């Protein structure tokens, strides 16, 4: 791993969806990641956490990993590559940053 931090893109903790007026939502996978970050802050020293608004397009994400990869959360590796599916993302947080593994 390089000296640069991995970048973890997650959605803002809550957001509105115009398709559901009057309702506020959270992203299930992003909240899971938020819980890990809060529970194990000592393991985040080599992570840059970037929270982005819910609506697409998500310019910061598009710039980092392309328009087709706006699904969040997304972990962008400092040495190249990324993952934005929850199971491989959790595995990468374990392998690259020492977070505990998810129990099978």
**Domain of residue 56, CATH code:** 3.40.30
Residue 46 belongs to a domain? yes
Instruction: With CA atoms as reference, report the closest residue to 44 among 88, 1, 93, 91.
Output: 93
Residue 54 belongs to a domain? yes
Backbone angles phi, psi at 36, to 5 degrees: -65, -45
pLDDT, residue 3, reads 83
Mean pLDDT of 4-19: 98
Look at the chain and report how many structural domains it folds into. 1
Sequence-ordered alpha helix ranges (H) in the chain:
28-39, 59-65, 86-97
pLDDT, residue 98, reads 98
16-71: pLDDT as tens digits: 999 999 999 999 999 999 999 999 999 999 999 999 999 999 999 999 999 999 99
Q: Which domain holds residue 50?
A: 6-97
Residue 28 belongs to a domain? yes
């Amino acid at each position: 791993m390089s000296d640069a931090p991995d970048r973890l893109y997650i959605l803002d903790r809550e957001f509105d969806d115009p398709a559901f007026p009057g309702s506020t939502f959270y992203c299930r996978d992003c909240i899971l990641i938020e819980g890990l970050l809060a529970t194990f802050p000592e393991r985040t020293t080599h992570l840059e956490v970037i929270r982005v608004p819910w609506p697409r397009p998500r310019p910061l994400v598009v710039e980092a990993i392309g328009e087709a990869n706006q699904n969040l959360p997304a972990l962008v590796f400092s040495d190249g590559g990324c993952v934005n599916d929850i199971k491989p993302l959790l595995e990468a947080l374990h392998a690259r940053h020492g977070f505990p593994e998810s129990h099978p």
